[in-house]
Amino acid sequence: MTLTGKRILMGNEAIAFGAMKAGLQIASGYPGTPSSEVMETIISHAKKYGIYAEWATNEKVALETAVGAAYSGANTIVTMKQVGLNVASDPLMSLSYIGIKGSLVILVSDDPGPHSSQTEQDTRAFGHFSNIPVLDPSTPQEAYDMTKLAFKLSHELETPVILRTTTRVSHGCEDVLIEDIDPVTRDIEGFVKDTRWTIFPKLTAQRHPLLEELQVKMSDHFSEYFNDNTFNSITKGSSRIGIAASGVSALYAKEAIKEHSDVFSFFKSGTAYPFPEKAALKFMKGLNDLIVVEELDPYMEEQFLQIAGKYHLNINIHGKKNGSFPVSGEYDVDVVTDSINRALENIGSEDAESAAASIRLSHSVAAVKPEDIPALPIRAPTLCAGCMHRTVFYAFKKTAAKLKKQVGIDSVFSGDIGCYTLGNALPLNMVDTCLCMGAGISVAAGLSHTPEFMQGEKAKQVAFIGDSTFFHSGIAAVVSAVYNNADITIAVLDNRTTAMTGHQPHPGIGLTAMGSPAQMIDIAEVLKSCGVGMVKTIETDDLDKCMDIAAEAMEFEGPSAVVFKGKCVAICKATGQYVVDEEKCTNCKLCINQLGCPAIFSISSGIPVIQDTCSGCGLCAQICPSGAIVLKEA
Ligand code: SF4
Ligand code: SF4
């Protein structure tokens, strides 16, 4: 099948196609919204194009794997979300000193908003911090073209290149013009021993000045892109007011000023780091005011402020720092329109002569009026109907309540990042702490040591972690907890997939990313070999047994663990549907007030109703004191 021509592609798919067109040979990543579809797309085409692709256990491992391949001369990509770059930051910081052979593109997706992340980080700042160039596409087409450019730059400059996207570029779709892809035929040289691959202080000292020189050269190089490169452009307007923007914010800004586009000079940059200083200086000369439009950090704004200071330019800069733009959250055309208006008001009060001072941008009239759109149903974030995690949380909740009643000991539940973070929702309310991937176990271990320093009863510490997260960063936390005699119970919620990011496989599944059979790593065996004193495995279909085993684990002195095995409801078929027998139901509402299964619906005057989203897990039937919840007859 020929791929040449225009195809509707999501930004992430466009990046995958761009990488494959650039001669990608090896890809590695860890799933994380909004980045996951890059690897998914590569995996689905890998065999056809002779590419090797894998899901790694975490972002650090993924980067190191790609680095090893690049040291051998391969064309490589590694994918992750912005918080994943924190995990990968250790090798990243050394990498700019060492450099690479072949090519290495680091795809990092930022999440302004944030929609599904712990933080609103800006990867452009990481580029600056690590001295690694950053490209910042604003559309799926640019994402495709910039991916090819990133491979080329990486190869030419012998440095990794970060391709940074944001959610609307990663998940937005447009007609993308792509070229046919040839299966990879280029041989790689292989690893050649050389002192350059070993980072010692002497090498660091030698390389650092060269690295700084390279930043200046790259900044000059990116400034030249303003002459003939569509990612970077400058247009002149009739007033002395300029607008500078990058990434998807450039589209919002262009839309906001479209009625007055001839008034404003416009600076659009897709090369975020090193900042194209010479081009920016040329643009700023002759302007009285500059409005900077960018999501997340005031990164460009700070670059412009530095240039204004360095060259003594008499220019007012309006952005996040003077309150014209919101300092956090995702932007859209409406936010940008209001913010530019705020900046124009400031300009108006300072400069009555300004031609643009009287301009007020108006919001475009929506094709459908907002008031005509029916209100969306309120859908609280909750575990799916029939999710196995609900059984585990419920079992621990009941066991902890019993423990409290019998011996007066409280329990603290340390959660982790994954679907099971939703265990914090009422009525379960089972996540007392949540910090980052793999931290549930370490936080619980830390808490377990605090009784040494406090008065009163010690609490029982329980840590929840998912199967994929266990491999991501849980194992190191288990080793530390065992080594330091932490008195904790670890509950591994093993639903046989990396559920929250789109059901990617992991080392506990027995399948590689490309579908080949693989050695399955047994979590219980890993826990045992780490020295956990009590390790049990149980299926989650019997609530009473789950409660018994939870009690046994919580009563154990020292580190204990239970691997709860089930299957994510999103990857298996419903096994039946339960209904409420009106004759038997006493309307105690226990099934609603205790479980929070979204399939069970409360109606104000009558008995609960079970909707057809019921997956047939049978949990509600097990807790109904009247035996009123029964399997619906076929
Ligand atoms: S059986 Fe009960 S708890 Fe399970 S999905 Fe159906 S309604 Fe929800
Ligand atoms: S727990 Fe059983 S008896 Fe109570 S409301 Fe639900 S179905 Fe009815």
Is residue 372 scored above 90 in pLDDT?
no
Is the pTM value of this prediction over 0.75? yes
Nearest ligand to residue 631 Cα: 1
Is residue 317 scored above 60 in pLDDT?
yes
Would you say 243 and 266 are in contact if contact means Cβ atoms under 8 Å apart?
yes
Q: Cis check for the bond before 137: say yes or no (omega within 30 of 0).
A: no
Between the CA of 570 and the centroid of ligand 2 the distance, in Å, is: 26
Ligand 1 pocket, 615 CB below 6 A?
Answer: yes
Q: What does the alpha-carbon distance between residue 305 and residue 634 come to, in Å, rounded to a whole number?
A: 70
Nearest ligand to residue 603 Cα: 2
Ligand 1 pocket, 614 CB below 6 A?
Answer: yes
pLDDT tens digit sequence for 64-110:
999 989 998 999 999 999 999 999 999 999 999 999 999 999 999 99
Between the CA of 495 and the centroid of ligand 1 the distance, in Å, is: 17
Ligand 1 pocket, 610 CB below 6 A?
Answer: yes
Q: How many CB atoms sit inside 10 A of residue 537's CB? A: 17
Nearest CA to ligand 2 atom 8: 585
pLDDT confidence of 151, banded at 50, 70, 90? very high
- What are the counts of helices (DSSP H) followed by strands (DSSP E) for the chain? 21, 23
Tokens of 201: 């202080």
Q: Which residues line ligand 2 (CB under 6 A)?
A: 580, 585-591, 607-608, 624, 626, 628-629
pLDDT tens digit sequence for 479-513:
999 999 999 999 999 999 999 888 999 999 999 99
Between the CA of 630 and the centroid of ligand 1 the distance, in Å, is: 10
Between the CA of 589 and the centroid of ligand 1 the distance, in Å, is: 14
Q: What percent of the chain has pLDDT over 70?
A: 97
Average pLDDT for 313-341: 96
Between the CA of 323 and the centroid of ligand 2 the distance, in Å, is: 54
**Residue 453 CB contacts under 8 Å (≥ 6 apart), including other chains:** none
Average pLDDT for 34-62: 94
Q: Which amino acid is at 351?
A: D
